[in-house]
Amino acid sequence: MALNPDSALDNLTRIVQVIEGDRKLHEWFCTLAHRPTVTRRNEIYAMVERMRAEGTDADLVASFRLLADSRVFDAACEALSGSHKNEA
Q: For residue 32, how many C-alpha atoms fall within 13 Å in the half-sphere facing its CB?
A: 26
Instruction: Give the span between the Cα atoms of 66 and 48, in whole angstroms.
Output: 10
pLDDT tens, 6-47? 777 788 888 899 899 999 999 999 999 999 999 999 999 999
pLDDT at 4: 62
**What interhelical angle do 70-87 and 5-20 show, nearest 10?**
50
Please tell me the predicted confidence (pLDDT) of residue 88: 45
Domain range list for the chain = 20-87
pTM, to two decimals: 0.79
More confident residue, 11 or 66: 66
